[in-house]
Amino acid sequence: MKRYFDYYRATMKLSVLEQLQYPVANYFYMIGMIAEPVIYMVVWSAVARQQGGMVGGYTPGAFAAYYIVWTLVRNMNIVFTPYGWEWRIREGQLSMSLLRPIHPLHGDVAYFAGWKVVVILLWLPLAFILSLIFKPELDPTLLQGVVFFFAIWMAYLIRTMILSLLGMVTFWTTRVSALFELYFAAELILSGRLVPLSLMPDWVQKLAWFFPFRWAFGFPIEALVGNLSTSDLFTGLGMQLAWILFGVISVSLIWKIAIRRFSAVGG
């Protein structure tokens, strides 16, 4: 246990130091990313105003809150990509990490978790500016705040596990980009990234319940800005936990089978 703790602490510290060296690059990246929610926010605020100030239970101020929190959750959602897995497997980069006495996934989880600390720091001034411009209506209770804090980190873990699973498909075939594209499109629509799920038709909302997407994206946002009841909040955390467990178990199972197939092509 202590061994893992030390490993995580060291890797996270290293990643914080490394990322702090590139504040400008990190900022460019974040600004490019912020264009997306700002567009959604503007469009939906315009729709809300045309419909007499509210659409699907959201006022322009509520949309502003939703999409500003969106930017943080989106950043928390950045994990080692399946394209990275593809590269890692195709180029034989995995060989090196296999020699270490620790599962390579720990490295990913720790490195990106450390990066998140930097990301949150850099996000704060951006969120402040966005709030000045778009005037969000945000009034969370203490409980919502606490649930949100845990929910974004759980979201991070869910997405890490699911995307690793997706990336590990590369062990069997190297033509994976089409699969990844389909996955990201489904995620865009079913997660609450494009619009809050409450604006979707009923059947889509029901469908979204059974996929990991909304638990890694929409739920944390709604936990902070929505009117979820206390039981909804804890159900959500429960669903997140379930998806993490599912992810960890499947990743370790598939890893065991997959690793036998791995033959380094280089590296």
Partner 1 sequence: MHGLRLAFNYLRIGVLNEFQYRANFYIQILQTFIALATGLIGLNLVFSQTDQLGGWSKPELLAVMGVFITMGGVIRSAIQPNMERLMEEIREGKLDFALTKPADAQLLVSVREFRFWQTVDVITGMVVMGVALAQMNWLISGWSALGFFTAIAMGAVMIYCFWLMITTTAFWFVRVHEIANLFEGLYAAGRWPIDIYPNWLRIGLTFLVPVAFAVTVPAEALTGRLTFQTWIGAFVLTIVLFTIARTIWKIGLRSYSGASA
- CB of 117 vs partner 1, minimal distance in Å: 20
Closest CB to partner 1 among residues 188, 239: 188
Closest CB to partner 1 among residues 174, 235: 174
Task: Give the distance, in angstroms, between the CA of residue 145 and the centroid of all CA atoms in the same chain.
Answer: 18
Helix axis angle, 218-225 to 142-167, nearest 10°: 170
- CB of 28 vs partner 1, minimal distance in Å: 4
- CB of 125 vs partner 1, minimal distance in Å: 18
Q: Can you tell me whether residue 51 is helix, strand or coil?
A: coil
C-alpha 29/C-alpha 50 separation (Å) is 33
Closest CB to partner 1 among residues 34, 154: 34
Closest CB to partner 1 among residues 84, 107: 84
Binding site for partner 1 (CB under 8 A): 25, 28-29, 31-36, 38-39, 42-44, 46-47, 50-51, 55-56, 133, 175, 177-178, 181-182, 185, 188-189, 194-195, 199-201
- CB of 210 vs partner 1, minimal distance in Å: 19
C-alpha 219/C-alpha 36 separation (Å) is 19
- CB of 102 vs partner 1, minimal distance in Å: 32
Phi-psi region of 55 (alpha: psi -120 to 50; beta: other; left: phi over 0): beta
Q: How many beta carbons lie within 10 A of that of residue 33, not counting itself?
A: 14
Closest CB to partner 1 among residues 80, 243: 80
Closest by CA to 245, choosing from 172, 162, 181, 188, is 162
